[in-house]
């Protein structure tokens, strides 16, 4: 994932009791479908499809940064995998975005204590001049300190910001971590910095694996060189800064914008028997950062969605509505696939029955929240009962944001869930070389598949809809 959806306390009474009139129009899930969903859940928890899928993707394709040769191989893999799993319909939809490339990257303390630093360039970073960039460092404790700083103290310097993240189940420190990365780089550039460095937005205090991720730079003109230090390297730089001596660094980043690239969202469908044009939309993003093999970010999400739909396909008959699995293009550098999908499908928003994307690793889902019309709350409660034995609590007080790319379709008015995974160790590996298959627990992954299969199937079988309509959830408090 690139961004996580954060929740604000809901002022709106989404969970108010239905009015008598509304009750007449209540969306419900037939008992037969509930019973079938329970069986689906019990099959899913021991099913190995998702693990095999993510093993295949991370082994046979590996890293697949947007616009790279492996990104193209990833699309070919996804088309082939959808077909191999027996999806009824497989197609792609073009997504065009700026191409950004990482070729090589080095950093070092030049003085007072010469030594290399382990760092990684950030998405949309500018390259340094040939031969590298050497400048003094000015350090800030956090983003607020950088905001408050006088541009005169920054001009021509390498700005370093030291935001510290802690491990949390819901990963909420990534709010400030990602802001330090995205906004911090832009602020530093605006104040005339020669380059920008941050303490990685991660929680692996003892690992020299820096965390990449996109900056807020929109184009080549705005961009300055920007990179993240691993946490032990950040500690090292901070010790050197604490010596009080002037600290000079050299950055040598051969990275940068290189025109535009057209990739694609890859889509597979299990075609609905009664309402083929009405879709439950699930997915993950197919692109990854280049440092790891994109196992938890977001091979897992793609695998969870593919496996959930495949299990529904294996049922005696097709579901009433279509299950659409979307493997999104270039989520990492700014939700490009999600925005393209939302633009291309905005006119069909009402035909999106319900949707959400998996993009927070492979830890167990522990919470479900929903943004649906009041008349569909009962159906959500029916879903909640079936997934409760999997350890998922339904919190009716919070909105459902739809996940990273599908947040864009939710923004257009698609009814959406948030299925929150346990992200306690997610930011140990996120956007690093350590995002590899060994981080995935097959049992936790299967629990995710069970939840996705259950909700997708039940939503597909519902009598009635969940409230999708143009701009239906504009004020639900789910922030993209």
User: Is residue 434 part of the contact set for a copy of itself (CB under 8 A)?
Assistant: yes
Among 437, 445, 454, 458, binds a copy of itself (CB under 8 A): 437
User: Is residue 63 part of the contact set for a copy of itself (CB under 8 A)?
Assistant: yes
Give residues with Cβ within 8 angstroms of 249, minimum separation 6: 107, 108, 109, 110, 117, 134, 135, 136, 137, 158, 197
Q: Which is nearer to a copy of itself, 280 or 296 (CB)?
A: 296
Among 115, 153, 344, 463, binds a copy of itself (CB under 8 A): 115
Give the nearest distance from C-beta 235 to a copy of itself in angstroms: 6
Nearest in space to 437 (alpha carbons), one of 59, 65, 63, 60: 59
Give the nearest distance from C-beta 166 to a copy of itself in angstroms: 16
> Which residues sit opposite 120 in a β-bridge?
228
Are 356 and 418 in contact, with CB atoms under 8 Å apart?
Answer: yes
User: Is residue 436 part of the contact set for a copy of itself (CB under 8 A)?
Assistant: yes
Nearest in space to 121 (alpha carbons), one of 5, 216, 236, 254: 254
User: Is residue 52 part of the contact set for a copy of itself (CB under 8 A)?
Assistant: no
**Helix, strand or coil, per DSSP, at residue 14:** coil
Q: Which is nearer to a copy of itself, 320 or 422 (CB)?
A: 422
Tokens of 215: 């900056």
Among 118, 382, 447, 448, binds a copy of itself (CB under 8 A): 118
Residues of this chain, 194-253, that bind a copy of itself according to CB under 8 A: 205-209, 232, 235-236, 239-240
How much is the CA Rg of the chain, to the nearest whole Å? 23
Q: Lay out the site mask for a copy of itself across 304-323 (x = CB under 8 A, - = otherwise).
A: --------------------
Q: Which is nearer to a copy of itself, 104 or 463 (CB)?
A: 104
Distance CA 478, CA 245 (A): 46
> Which residues sit opposite 226 in a β-bridge?
196
Are 419 and 451 in contact, with CB atoms under 8 Å apart?
Answer: yes
Q: Which is nearer to a copy of itself, 32 or 206 (CB)?
A: 206
Give the nearest distance from C-beta 205 to a copy of itself in angstroms: 7
Among 83, 86, 113, 441, binds a copy of itself (CB under 8 A): 113
Q: Lay out the site mask for a copy of itself across 161-200 (x = CB under 8 A, - = otherwise).
A: ----------------------------------------
User: Is residue 57 part of the contact set for a copy of itself (CB under 8 A)?
Assistant: no
Distance CA 126, CA 457 (A): 46
In this structure, are strands 393-394 and 365-371 parallel, antiparallel, or unpaired? parallel
Number of residues that bind a copy of itself (CB under 8 A): 35
Give residues with Cβ within 8 angstroms of 213, minimum separation 6: 2, 122, 123, 178, 181, 182, 201, 228, 289, 332, 431
Distance CA 340, CA 327 (A): 12
User: Is residue 448 part of the contact set for a copy of itself (CB under 8 A)?
Assistant: no
Distance CA 5, CA 406 (A): 11
User: Is residue 60 part of the contact set for a copy of itself (CB under 8 A)?
Assistant: yes
Among 41, 310, 364, 439, binds a copy of itself (CB under 8 A): 439
**Helix, strand or coil, per DSSP, at residue 467:** coil
Among 114, 129, 391, 470, binds a copy of itself (CB under 8 A): 114
Among 55, 101, 136, 395, binds a copy of itself (CB under 8 A): 55
Instruction: Detail the DSSP E strand segments found in 372-409.
Output: 393-394
User: Is residue 292 part of the contact set for a copy of itself (CB under 8 A)?
Assistant: yes
User: Is residue 27 part of the contact set for a copy of itself (CB under 8 A)?
Assistant: no
Among 25, 52, 73, 351, binds a copy of itself (CB under 8 A): 73
**Helix, strand or coil, per DSSP, at residue 69:** helix
Query: What b-and-e string marks burial along 304-319, b requiring 16 or more CB atoms within 10 Å of the CB?
Result: bbbbbbbbbbebeebb
Q: Which is nearer to a copy of itself, 205 or 346 (CB)?
A: 205
Distance CA 480, CA 471 (A): 14
Q: Which stretch, 37-45, 109-117, 188-196, 307-315, contacts a copy of itself (CB under 8 A)?
A: 109-117
Among 120, 203, 215, 293, binds a copy of itself (CB under 8 A): 293
Tally Cβ neighbours within 10 Å of residue 148: 8
Q: Which is nearer to a copy of itself, 175 or 232 (CB)?
A: 232
Q: Which stretch, 62-70, 147-155, 275-283, 457-465, contacts a copy of itself (CB under 8 A)?
A: 62-70
**Helix, strand or coil, per DSSP, at residue 199:** strand
Measuring CA to CA, how many Å separate 404 from each of 411, 420, 435?
11, 12, 18
User: Is residue 62 part of the contact set for a copy of itself (CB under 8 A)?
Assistant: yes
Q: Which stretch, 55-63, 157-165, 298-306, 319-327, contacts a copy of itself (CB under 8 A)?
A: 55-63
Residues of this chain that bind a copy of itself (CB under 8 A):
55, 58-63, 69-70, 73, 109, 112-116, 118, 205-209, 232, 235-236, 239-240, 292-293, 433-434, 436-439
């Amino acid at each position: 994932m690139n961004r996580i959806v954060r929740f604000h306390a809901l002022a709106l009474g989404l969970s108010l009791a239905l009015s008598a009139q509304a009750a007449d129009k209540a969306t419900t899930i037939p008992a037969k479908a509930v019973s079938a969903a329970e069986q689906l859940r019990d099959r899913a928890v021991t099913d190995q499809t998702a693990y095999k899928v993510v093993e295949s993707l991370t082994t046979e394709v590996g890293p697949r940064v947007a616009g790279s040769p492996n990104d193209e191989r990833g699309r070919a893999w996804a088309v082939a995998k959808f077909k191999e799993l027996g999806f009824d319909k497989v197609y792609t939809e073009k997504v065009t975005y700026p191409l950004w490339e990482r070729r090589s990257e080095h950093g070092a303390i030049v003085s007072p204590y010469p030594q290399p630093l382990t760092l990684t360039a950030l998405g949309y970073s500018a390259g340094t001049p040939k031969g590298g960039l050497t400048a003094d460092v000015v350090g800030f404790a956090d983003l607020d300190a950088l905001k408050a700083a006088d541009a005169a103290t920054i001009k021509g310097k390498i700005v370093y910001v030291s935001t510290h993240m802690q491990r949390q189940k819901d990963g909420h420190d990534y709010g400030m971590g990602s802001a330090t990365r995205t906004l911090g780089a832009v602020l530093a550039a605006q104040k005339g910095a020669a380059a920008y460095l941050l303490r990685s937005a991660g929680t692996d205090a003892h690992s020299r694996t820096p965390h990449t991720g996109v900056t807020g730079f929109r184009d080549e003109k705005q961009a300055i060189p920007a990179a993240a230090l691993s946490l032990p390297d950040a500690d090292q730089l901070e010790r050197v800064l604490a010596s009080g001596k002037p600290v000079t660094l050299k950055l040598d980043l051969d990275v940068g914008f290189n025109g535009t690239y057209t990739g694609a969202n890859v889509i597979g469908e299990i075609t609905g028997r009664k309402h083929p044009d009405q879709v439950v939309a699930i997915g993950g993003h197919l692109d990854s950062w280049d440092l790891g093999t994109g196992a938890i970010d977001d091979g897992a999400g793609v695998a969870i969605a593919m496996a959930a739909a495949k299990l529904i396909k294996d049922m005696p008959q097709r579901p009433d509505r279509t299950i659409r699995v979307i493997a999104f293009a270039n989520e990492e550098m700014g939700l490009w696939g999600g925005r393209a999908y939302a633009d291309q499908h905005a006119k069909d928003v009402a035909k999106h029955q319900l949707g959400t994307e998996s993009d927070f690793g492979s830890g167990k889902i522990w919470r479900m929240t929903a943004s649906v019309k009041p008349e569909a709350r009962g159906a959500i409660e029916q879903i909640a009962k079936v997934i409760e034995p999997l350890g998922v609590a339904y919190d009716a007080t919070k909105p459902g944001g739809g996940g990273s790319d599908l947040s864009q379709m939710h923004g257009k008015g698609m009814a959406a869930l948030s299925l929150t995974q346990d992200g306690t160790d997610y930011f140990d590996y996120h956007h690093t070389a350590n995002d590899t298959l060994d981080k995935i627990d097959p049992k936790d992954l299967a629990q995710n598949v069970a939840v996705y299969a259950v909700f997708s199937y039940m939503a597909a079988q519902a009598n009635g809809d969940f409230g999708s309509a143009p701009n239906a959830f504009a004020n639900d408090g789910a922030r993209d």
